[in-house]
Structure 1
Amino acid sequence: MRHRAGRIVTIESLTELDRRLAQGAHRLRGWRLVGLDLRDRARVLDGRDTSHTTFAGCTFAPGDAERHAARGALVLPAVDAVPVDANRDSLYTADELYDDPSYRRTLDGRAYAWSQGTGSRGAGPDDLLARALHDDGIDRALTAWTGSRRLVGVMGGHALQRGAADYTGAARLGRLLGRRFTVATGGGPGAMEAANLGARLARADEAALAHALGMLATVPSYHPSVDAWIASARSVLSDLADVPVTETLGVPTWHYGHEPPNLFATAIAKYFRNALREAILLQVCAGGIVFLPGAAGTVQEIFQDACENHYATEDAIAPMVLVDRAHWTETLPAWPLLQALAKGRPMEAHIHLVDTVDEAASIVDAGAA
């Protein structure tokens, strides 16, 4: 078994799986089971919560793969050949990543399965080289793409469900910012999807956004079915095919492959290496970043951005705007620490705590004036 930082646990042997199950593990949330023959573990796994589990290249007893998928697990086939173009020199589109109605057969699903499957064998030099070359190509393509655009980032939680008031707020924020800037997000579901959607419709009328939000609310989450989540987004894009489209960027990672990329980013820079992706996403947002309510990932992004601003000269500091006073002072009190970090530094005048997305958009607009 290989431990990975945070909520991800990768299990590559039946011995390790049996040990953990014997210790009483019931909710297998965030687990990745890679290359295991699970035919003799059907009964014990049937009694566990596998709703957020990834099975990559595993062998199942008849009907078990479908049963776990129906619960919300991600079941991916083994992939031996490199599914991505290691010499790629352009960003992705959603249609490229989702090139099949079934997620497990899409380029995105196959790339995620391959990135996990190579781990079960120990990634060989060819696999490592392919990933490195791919990410370098994406990096160069993103540098070229962002060179003529002024980007503003929107960060927030991946678990935010369609139909929620905060999801609507994130979409409104994307729409407000997208009128003047190119909006960039982490490219995933939740607040990221909402912001990309709103930014995409920045030049459309409000009725188009309301229509899209209403359609999406019928499939609130990518759990239990990624396919249904994708299909609802495709329906929105089909219904709004005639409305003006504004460019918007997503920067997701196959490290969190169980969090699928959203379809509303018009350009997608998808990386295998999450650390590289995180640094680049913050780096390209020269117009500032708005931080919506989120959990550990959003907190990490706040202080990663704060570290850059802490040591920057004043002319290189972009606004940092935290939205939802109660969330950032009580639920996850990042604001007091951010204030203390900024005190007496040039960045102090560039950090903001607000309650509404309208306030956040106004601050970012003023910073660009």
Structure 2
Amino acid sequence: MASGRSSPTTDDPITEASPGADGARSEAVLRSEAVRVRIRLLDRVLLDRDRGLRRVRRRLTDTLGLRGTTAFDRALLRELAGSNSPGTRHGACAARICPPDGRLLLEYEYPPPDVIPAATGYHGDPVRPEPRPATEIGTRYAYLLARITLRVLAGAFDATPASLVDRIVLNGYRTTGPTRTLLVSTDAIRDSFERLDLDAPAPDPVTCLRLGLGARVSPQPYASLPVEPVADVDLSDCRFVEQTGPTVDLSGRPDLRTLPSAEYAQVIRCLFEALGWSDWTVRESSGADVDALAIDPVGGGVRVVQAWRHGVGAAGVQDLVDTLDNWSAGAGVLVSAGPIGTADRARALGDGRIEVVDGGRLRLMLREHLVPDLVVDPD
């Protein structure tokens, strides 16, 4: 991207735009907004769980009967991973079902503490972080691990019938280098779990685990203080599945405009992350399929990305211009899965802060950086 109000070149790779006069202020505001949204997402890990996993019970039961326990374990893990929001960092999970005694064994690898933003916000020129107190990071990390544990248990119980799974033994670990520390261990009985009110206002997830399920929970997971397991579970020979949200299979979909909005948003996010953009944070203030903030890989600047499956139109261009103005942002990227009209392209490029990625360029970028064998029809 070019800096200031000069017109960017549409044939060049996406690069960082130098901030203008209000660059430091807009940088601080946007980075602070990204932190706020990230914290909100972490706080809602349990509340935003998939409530529809009971729909897969029949399919998983059939998988167990027709293909055996290993196929069942893998299918269950795929369902749990797919129930996460796109791009979430929830760790990794392994599973083994024990049909004779109605138990499901789970081992979970929690995300590291740096999943909690180390800053509460940003300010100054040059932009500086406002450090988050270590005690707050520790508390938020403990609550996050408890929420993840309850979310996994809720999903696994929902996805399996009571006749098949009556209890779940879950051991949750954090791995640092060669050291693997047990932070949470529980033997959850279905009846006891279903009595928990997971949607209570401001629920204490640690208390839910300890008092509601009799779980052993590390008093200081941030410091990796271990607990003793409630039951010995060794799933070292099982395949761990990353719990990072759904992936998108572009095979058989030659036209990106036919993707559901959520899948298209995942494609755009994966592409920009493949380009090195980080801290992708979704905003909820636009009619676009994607309205996000992300950190540019070159200069570290926060940029606005808006993407549309269908025609952008004058309203779409104006929406991005307004967003840049409202945030005093230095630059933005306008993406469309289809063509962008001559007048709309001229309006966007004439603004001087916007880089345009139309359907043709988007497909070329996907081929180069994400899906080498992608075959798509021209517009």
Which of the pair is proportionally richer in helix? 1
Which of the pair is proportionally richer in strand? 2
Higher relative contact order (CA 8 A, sep 6+): 2
TM range (shorter): under 0.3
TM-score, normalisation: structure 1: 0.25
TM-score, normalisation: structure 2: 0.24
